Structure 1
Amino acid sequence: MYSPSLEFLKSPIENVVNLLGGVPQDHEKALKHGFYNALAILLLMIALSAGWAVFIVLEPFFKPLLWALLCGSVLYPIKHSLATSMNSWLSSLPTNSTPLLLGIIIVPIQILDNTSERIGNVTLKYIKYIVGFVLCLCICHIMYQYTPHICICIIWKLGMIGSNAISWFMSLFDTYRILAIILGYIILLISFWTPDTAHYFTLAAVFLWMAISLFLASLASSFQVTIFFVLQCLFGCGFGYEVLLVYKKMSASNISRKIVQFQEESLLSEEKLKDVNEKNENEQGLDKENLSKPKDSENVEIRPKDLVSGAVGSINNPSEKEYSNIETISQKDVRKRLLPLDETASSSGIERSTPSFSETSFQKQMIAAALHKHKARIEVGSSNVNSNHRERPESTKYLYGLTWACVLLSMWTYFWLLHATYILLLIYIIKHTGQYFHIWQMIEEQIKKLWTVIHTWYSSRHEALFPVHITGFFKLATQMNGVMMEILKDSVNMACCTIVILGVICAIISTIVFLTVQVYSEGIHMLQVGSSILNSTYMRNTKLMDGWQSQLDSIVNDAYSYGRQGISSGVHHWLKDVDPEKASQLEEQVLQLWDRIYQAWMTSNNAAIGPKVTTSAIYASFDSLVEDVQKTPELLNMAGIMAFLQDNVGTLLTVFDSLWIILKGNITLFMDSFLAIIMIVFGSGTAVINFFLNLIVFFTALFYLLASSNEMYKPVDLITKYSPNSGKRFAVALEDAIASVFHASIKRAIIYGLWTWLIHNLFQVKLVYIPSVLAAMLGAIPVMPVYLPSAPAVLELYFQDCTFYAVLLSIIQVVSASTIDSTIYKEIKGGGHPYLTALSIAGGMFWLGPEGVIMGPLLLCALFVAVNMSTYILQDNESEQELQEQMKHLSELSRLTQLRKCVS
């Protein structure tokens, strides 16, 4: 029979070896390995060359792609939580039989309900503190506003009497007297102390220390009463701390009593288990056939290797129970796990009796100790890679506290904001009141009854109410609703990515617009304050002669008077051929306009004391003058105008020449500025185009990264897929490091911005938003100390003769900056010491500019993560080997115990 040849199944390397020929049989395998290595190196070089070529192609877009990768790791948790919420909402619509359109309509109602529920729960949780705070405010307000003056005087007098009494008592306890009292008390304590009189000595010790505190306070000459009250406060704190310690001891004694009771109950249960074991041994001795064929459900044997693998797997998995609870394993389960699989013993018919209770307890303790040691090593390694996510960072507490403080200050400043919470609390109260009294349940039952009646009435008349085409339309709408639901479920990921990116863009634009408006208004105020300071400084330090201000005032008054006379003569000369009555009327209006202009100019920088000429009054005078001129055409005497121009042609030419010089200089300046702007725009056009192109690449890459990430961030998923052993652990650690660096920068910016805004508002300075914006920018990009933006506020308080507040503001800013920096830098995962993190930020800025604020600590974190991961992997392998050896030793010990029992 013909058999086909299988030579075509040979590898190309074997064909090459056959073509070479003459190769010894011993060298053929080495030659194949050489060919394989050469081929692998060739493929590696091709892959590296292709990677380098791809890098060269994508080099112009490398920076936006890298930033998209980093920002995506921060925005992915937001997108994932939003997608989860939307999927759960879409899944709840068919469950509740709610159409899609109706579900979209009631979304704002659900948001309002959830908001009111959260605010109500928070209010109910802290109701004691809120009520206490409000009562304290009300009492302080009432005491401040409505306390009679006589009561304040009485309280002041009582305080003075108490101060004088304390001072008198201090004068009684001088050095000799207090030494005599202490020495006498010690003698009495030595001579007469017994357990029966101990109570009296305890009371006497209170008065003794009161006398000692009076003596110590008397040593401070000017602050005797203050020091005495401080000492009493310290004694009160000590008393409270002692009470707290006693309470803790009592609680600990109760817990220890419960533990002893639990141990007694466990010992009783163990004795019962021992009796059950003895009974099982007796039954096994009576029926050996059943022992030779054990049931699977009772005698399942597990190898120590399986026990080790199961223990390691359960420890590595944080969702399973810890092995510290191994004491709760039943006696049968312990027997199953400790019995080894010995085929020789089972084939020879050796009985496997159950070990005694003491031996089993010892073995369990050994297993627990080994597993606990292995678990401790794993926890130490994993703590270097991933910190505990359940514990809230300290900087987050700072952020929440600052946010609430700013919200409360805003509500105190703009009290109308508090009315919005009243509506939400009213909704919460109505909702829970109805639930408590079962009102909503009663309404629901009545609606169900009404719906049953309506449905019964409708079932026999539905064709009369809804014809066929309306019924078909409803069915079509139901089908369309299902189709739209499926489309929305498929596009939830894309929609969430779009919402997150648009939300970030809108938040940035809104913040920039709001801060720009606030900074603009404060910038104008700062320019006005600066100009007034410069003017006042110049006026105080000028080298002009004495009395120059009065001379300047007289010059201005003379100019006003001469100008008024010139206007009057000019009008007379102009209107010499006009009716004298109309000419005098026009002259009066022109002079009135001149007077109002002068008064408005002189009172523009003064406070509003007495009557003040406004701009509207000047416009009214000018309009009335123009109307009178228009109503009287004979006022336009062209001959008089021409004569006036001929007489003053030289003056007019001089004025026009001066105006032309000014206009020419302004036009030149405008043209130079316009040409400079054009040169900048067209000369730097490539930079502008590159900026917008990089922006498009950044947002596009960010969108696709978020859209392609489902349960895990896409880069983490890829690293996990191509390195299944430890790639996931490394990728997750690196992602946490990136997120922690971004969170640190964002937290610094937000915390410093809010803190500066809060402090400046509390000290009631004029400049608030400019220092806050600068502090936020310096928090994100620390090129300078963060407390420098508070310098204008310190100067403002100093110039207002508030030196104490100025010093206090500067101290608060410096101390808070050092505290917040150390706290935030400490929370960067894998960054090492906070000092190294700060140095990495500074070095990154020197290397890459503002981008180095992120890249510097990120590279440091990547280095630490790689080192910690390698150390952790080595420790993990060593601990697993040691655990296997210990479990092997325990299995041998268990086998020897069983053989001993069988022999005996």
Structure 2
Amino acid sequence: MMDKSKKRSIEGIVSLFENFRNQKSRQAESLRNALYNVGVLILLGALALVILILLPFIRPLGFGVLFGAVLFPAKKKLANSINSWIEKLEKDETPVVVGIVKLPFSALERLGEMIIYFILTHIKIILFGSGFLIFLRVMLYFLPKHFLSYVFGIIQWQHSLFEKIIGSFNSTLVTAIIIAYIIAVYFLWNNSNAYLFMIACQLVWIFIFAYVSSFFGPFQIPVFIITLLYGLLGLIYHDSSSNPYFLKIKGYFKKEEKKIEDIKEEKENEPAGKDILNKTKTHLSEIKSKMQLNVSQEENKSTSNKPDELESDWYFKILFYALALTVLWKQLWILTFCFVPVVFYSIIAIFKSLGLDSYIENQLRNPIQKAKEWFNVRRDALLPIFLPGVTELNQKVHVIFCNKMKSYVDDISSLVMILFLILFVIFISVFSIVQIYSETITVIQLTGNLVNRTLTMRPDLVEMLPFNMQSMNDIIENGYQHSRSTIEEYLDMFLNNTEQQQAEKFKAQVLTVWDRLIQSYIDQYNHHDTVGPRVSSDSIFNSIDEIVTSSGLTFTSAFTYAKNNLSLMREIGESVWIVLRTNIQLLFSLLTTCFGVLIGSGHFMLSFLFNAVIFFTTLYYLLQSSHDRYIPIAVNTNSAMQIRVVDALESSVSSVLIATVKLSIFHGLFTFVTHTIFGAHVVFLPTFLAAILAAAPFLETYWCCIPAFLDLWLSQNHFYLGLLLMAIHFFIPPSFNVIIHSEIKGSGHPYLTALSIAGGIYLLGLEGAIVGPILLCLLIVLFDVTINSLSTQTTPNTFSSSIVNEEIQSPM
């Protein structure tokens, strides 16, 4: 009993100790969970504080990140070029000053090499384009001035002739022809005249087609011509058996069809397990690649794959070729700039290919060697004593300078890219302001000419005006006559008590000044080829001097007029003082408003400068710290999953930025090319507007061609040319938008991309056109990566279990 009680007491102590330990572990676990919760709350609070602190600078920071992503590839290439240049200086032991002097010549040689390489690789397109331009120039030079109008007249005459012929066929005539032909075939056809009946049959069918085409109204002639052409094509295809050329074409198509049928048969006859084996092999290779721990090999493998050529690249090639031909057509002097580097590189290439450089070096080797021997003997007599030490010091300085330059390559390249960005923005801004100002004046002048032309060509519109104004010149003339008569009335009243001769002379001089002012104003907006008298500014000042220095002018009339109208002048002065006194508060509020505007604009300028400093500082640090990859996306990756996530995010974000830039460039250049080719007077305003609307799509870009359409139609009287311009802008750019939206990786359907752009603009402004698609890409990419990771986690287990089952079931 004692043993049992002792045993129970020991078990009770042990159970008490275990309960105490379990309770302690539960408290430790709850304490650990509490610490975790507190840590998470602290992190979230710190994150919220950081967001609140950086919230005023989100905009410049975000734009710095975006511009850095655009400039980083160019910065990387520039840094590599500077590194290779420094290594070449170290290898050749060339002084830095000499290397800097030789740099423009090397750049000129490289530019010439690029131009010649481009010419050789695109020789066919260049020859075709040059031949087409030369042929067009010759045709426009030798052909008569109204050649196209003659051709258009011939086409109109043929159109009316076809219309009359088709309209002459009615149901009675066609029925009579058919019945007569059937009766003739029934009674007169035999083997000897079968060929004639075959020709007559074709004519009868042509009559039938003409009668059927008459039911299509305004489209009867196109339907008739298309029917005849399609029938002619069928005739050629049917009779190609007798032509060896058509036999070759038909044999080629038969071979291609046979190849397609063979491929289909091979796919149908493949064993059912072949697809499973192929999938198994690819699955094994995927597992093997995921099991590799070398991250650099994975990165090299991902970067070594070259991207496929995109469909939009073809559009850009055609657009750039058209742009080059258009610019060369308008400005042939640009070829002179390409002539200098091409000649420079050609001379160097000819020297190297003929061996002239080595020949000259061999010829100068002996004289140079003799000069060196003569100089080495007499060195102390010709050179200063400190020169050897200075040479050694220069070599050390050269080595130190090259090493320092290598360490500052990223800084230098970053500063160069930022300076290039600033100069580019300044150039684009100044160019845009100048072009917009000049084309605004052109639009005003064209509007005046358009009003004149419209009122001249449309007399029914004149009846709608309050006065009989035939043009803008009549409006100016009416205003001029009314003001002249008013001035004459005031002068007669002012010179009422003056001598008649002096009054007439003074009035004539004042009216002469007024006439010359109006004529000078009109001459400013007239062309240089206008016929008629012109008034200069000197003649106006001379007329004023005549009034002042005229001997016939006395101030008696002015004094008499003031004395007679003293009460009137006093009343006018009192009314002016009352107005000023009652409106002093308005004047004070106006001054305070102007001062507030100045203070507000000063605050805006300070805010702008502060944001600019943050933007450029962020851009500099991002570019300077980015080496192989852009620093915001160059995160530490320790697994294949993290690499795939980072690569997916990088590709999606870069594709959004590139797509936005592509849309803006394509629509702007396309508008510039089409407006230049069609001869519109306003080109740059629609170009800038199209580029802006492409990046921030408030409206479709085909609305930008409406001013050019009105210009071609109403000002230049080219209605069909303007209609063709509208059709081109209506059909081609929207198809390009669909292609670009489909190239954005990880954004889903193009409709979602368009909605993300519109929603981003609605919420965030213009920058939302970039932020919206980026957020959509991030969401879709994260979703896809999660789904892929879950599928890759379940697939290897099922595969290994199937292998184990096969091993168990297989006999030994």
TM over 0.5, shorter chain: yes
The one-character-per-residue Cα deviations of 1:786-826 (angstroms, maximum 9, x if unpaired) are 22222222222332343322322222222233212211111
Q: What is residue 776 of structure 2 aligned with on the other side? A: 860
The one-character-per-residue Cα deviations of 1:539-586 (angstroms, maximum 9, x if unpaired) are 65223479999998987887899999999999988989xxxxxx99x9
Task: Write the distance in 1 (CA, Å) between the matches of 2:569 and 2:232.
Answer: 84
Task: Write the distance in 2 (CA, Å) between the matches of 1:598 and 1:624.
Answer: 18
- TM alignment of 1:31-180, pairs within 5 A: 36-146=32-142
> Partner amino acid for 2:709?
V
The secondary structure found in structure 2 opposite 1:415 is coil
Structure 1 contact 603–612 (Cα < 8 Å) conserved: no
Structure 1 contact 592–621 (Cα < 8 Å) conserved: no
Task: Write the distance in 1 (CA, Å) between the matches of 2:304 and 2:181.
Answer: 57
Q: What is residue 846 of structure 1 aligned with on the other side? A: 762
Q: What is residue 721 of structure 2 aligned with on the other side? A: 805
Task: Write the distance in 1 (CA, Å) between the matches of 2:237 and 2:353.
Answer: 43
Structure 1 contact 574–641 (Cα < 8 Å) conserved: no
1:876 partnered with 2:792 = yes
Change (3 A) 1:519 1:141: closer
> What is the CA-CA distance between 1:829 and the residue it aligns to?
1.2
Q: 2:649 aligns with which of 716, 726, 734?
A: 734
Stretches of structure 1 that go unaligned for 5 or more consecutive residues are 1-19, 189-206, 255-362, 577-582, 630-634, 900-904
Q: Scaled by the length of structure 2, what TM-score is found?
A: 0.72
Q: What is residue 320 of structure 1 aligned with on the other side? A: none
Task: Write the distance in 2 (CA, Å) between the matches of 1:210 and 1:135.
Answer: 43
Q: Scaled by the length of structure 1, what TM-score is found?
A: 0.66
> What is the CA-CA distance between 1:518 and the residue it aligns to?
0.6
Change (3 A) 1:102 1:540: farther
Q: What is residue 711 of structure 2 aligned with on the other side? A: 796
Task: Write the distance in 2 (CA, Å) between the matches of 1:444 and 1:214.
Answer: 83
Task: Write the distance in 1 (CA, Å) between the matches of 2:410 and 2:64.
Answer: 18
Change (3 A) 1:596 1:119: same
Q: Which moved more, 1:830-839 or 1:554-563?
A: 554-563
Task: Write the distance in 1 (CA, Å) between the matches of 2:359 and 2:236.
Answer: 56
Structure 2 contact 665–691 (Cα < 8 Å) conserved: yes
Change (3 A) 1:138 1:794: closer
Change (3 A) 1:859 1:208: farther
Q: What is residue 265 of structure 2 aligned with on the other side? A: none
Change (3 A) 1:877 1:746: same
Structure 1 contact 67–698 (Cα < 8 Å) conserved: yes
Q: 2:404 aligns with which of 481, 487, 491?
A: 487
> Partner amino acid for 1:844?
G
Stretches of structure 2 that go unaligned for 5 or more consecutive residues are 1-15, 192-198, 214-219, 260-272, 290-297, 456-460
Q: What is residue 280 of structure 2 aligned with on the other side? A: 370
- TM alignment of 1:206-355, pairs within 5 A: 222=221
Give the RMSD, CA atoms, in angstroms.
5.8
The count of residues paired between Structure 1 and Structure 2 equals: 728
Q: What is residue 648 of structure 1 aligned with on the other side? A: 561
Task: Write the distance in 2 (CA, Å) between the matches of 1:99 and 1:820.
Answer: 52
> What is the CA-CA distance between 1:48 and the residue it aligns to?
3.0
Q: What is residue 357 of structure 2 aligned with on the other side? A: 440
Task: Write the distance in 2 (CA, Å) between the matches of 1:533 and 1:132.
Answer: 39
Q: Which moved more, 1:883-892 or 1:487-496?
A: 883-892
> What is the CA-CA distance between 1:121 and the residue it aligns to?
0.9
Q: What is residue 196 of structure 1 aligned with on the other side? A: none
Q: 2:619 aligns with which of 688, 702, 705?
A: 702
Task: Write the distance in 2 (CA, Å) between the matches of 1:777 and 1:683.
Answer: 28
> What is the CA-CA distance between 1:386 and the residue it aligns to?
11
> What is the CA-CA distance between 1:834 and the residue it aligns to?
0.1
Task: Write the distance in 2 (CA, Å) between the matches of 1:652 and 1:42.
Answer: 92
Q: What is residue 13 of structure 2 aligned with on the other side? A: none
> What is the CA-CA distance between 1:651 and the residue it aligns to?
9.2
Change (3 A) 1:650 1:125: farther
> Partner amino acid for 2:746?
G
Q: Which moved more, 1:464-473 or 1:120-129?
A: 464-473
> Partner amino acid for 1:647?
T
Structure 1 contact 213–228 (Cα < 8 Å) conserved: no
Task: Write the distance in 2 (CA, Å) between the matches of 1:39 and 1:709.
Answer: 37
Change (3 A) 1:705 1:533: same
Change (3 A) 1:253 1:411: same
The secondary structure found in structure 2 opposite 1:641 is coil
> What is the CA-CA distance between 1:687 and the residue it aligns to?
5.1
Task: Write the distance in 1 (CA, Å) between the matches of 2:580 and 2:445.
Answer: 30
1:766 partnered with 2:766 = no
Task: Write the distance in 1 (CA, Å) between the matches of 2:765 and 2:795.
Answer: 45
The secondary structure found in structure 1 opposite 2:634 is helix
The one-character-per-residue Cα deviations of 1:700-748 (angstroms, maximum 9, x if unpaired) are 1222122122222223233x34x54422321222122221212222222
- TM alignment of 1:601-750, pairs within 5 A: 610-616=531-537, 618-619=539-540, 621-622=542-543, 625=546, 629=549, 641-649=554-562, 675-683=592-600, 686=603, 688-718=605-635, 720-721=636-637, 724-750=639-665
Q: What is residue 476 of structure 1 aligned with on the other side? A: 393
The secondary structure found in structure 1 opposite 2:767 is helix
Task: Write the distance in 2 (CA, Å) between the matches of 1:742 and 1:405.
Answer: 25
Q: 1:783 aligns with which of 665, 685, 698?
A: 698
Structure 1 contact 716–728 (Cα < 8 Å) conserved: no
Task: Write the distance in 1 (CA, Å) between the matches of 2:201 and 2:617.
Answer: 75
Q: What is residue 307 of structure 2 aligned with on the other side? A: 390
Task: Write the distance in 2 (CA, Å) between the matches of 1:213 and 1:786.
Answer: 48
Q: What is residue 505 of structure 1 aligned with on the other side? A: 422
The secondary structure found in structure 2 opposite 1:403 is helix
Task: Write the distance in 2 (CA, Å) between the matches of 1:26 and 1:831.
Answer: 53
Change (3 A) 1:511 1:459: same
The secondary structure found in structure 2 opposite 1:107 is helix
The secondary structure found in structure 2 opposite 1:468 is coil
Structure 2 contact 747–753 (Cα < 8 Å) conserved: yes
> Partner amino acid for 1:645?
A
> Partner amino acid for 2:699?
M
Structure 1 contact 498–703 (Cα < 8 Å) conserved: yes
> What is the CA-CA distance between 1:762 and the residue it aligns to?
1.9
Task: Write the distance in 1 (CA, Å) between the matches of 2:399 and 2:410.
Answer: 19
The one-character-per-residue Cα deviations of 1:602-621 (angstroms, maximum 9, x if unpaired) are 87777755441221551574
Task: Write the distance in 2 (CA, Å) between the matches of 1:868 and 1:45.
Answer: 30
Structure 1 contact 738–858 (Cα < 8 Å) conserved: yes
Q: 1:410 aligns with which of 327, 340, 359?
A: 327
- TM alignment of 1:535-574, pairs within 5 A: 541-544=464-467
Q: What is residue 753 of structure 1 aligned with on the other side? A: 668
> Partner amino acid for 1:491?
Y
> Partner amino acid for 2:384?
P
Q: What is residue 270 of structure 2 aligned with on the other side? A: none
Task: Write the distance in 2 (CA, Å) between the matches of 1:235 and 1:445.
Answer: 74
Change (3 A) 1:29 1:852: same
Q: Which has the higher contact order (CA 8 A, sep 6+)?
A: 1
Instruction: Give the % identical residues.
Output: 24
The one-character-per-residue Cα deviations of 1:495-527 (angstroms, maximum 9, x if unpaired) are 111122221222112101100111011122323
Task: Write the distance in 2 (CA, Å) between the matches of 1:370 and 1:616.
Answer: 92
The one-character-per-residue Cα deviations of 1:595-647 (angstroms, maximum 9, x if unpaired) are 75676578777775544122155157449859x95xxxxx769xx73423223
Change (3 A) 1:159 1:237: farther
> Partner amino acid for 1:767?
V
The secondary structure found in structure 2 opposite 1:715 is coil
Task: Write the distance in 2 (CA, Å) between the matches of 1:507 and 1:667.
Answer: 49
> Partner amino acid for 1:850?
L
The secondary structure found in structure 2 opposite 1:106 is helix
Task: Write the distance in 1 (CA, Å) between the matches of 2:30 and 2:663.
Answer: 57
The secondary structure found in structure 2 opposite 1:717 is coil
> Partner amino acid for 1:770?
L
> Partner amino acid for 1:614?
V
> Partner amino acid for 1:820?
F
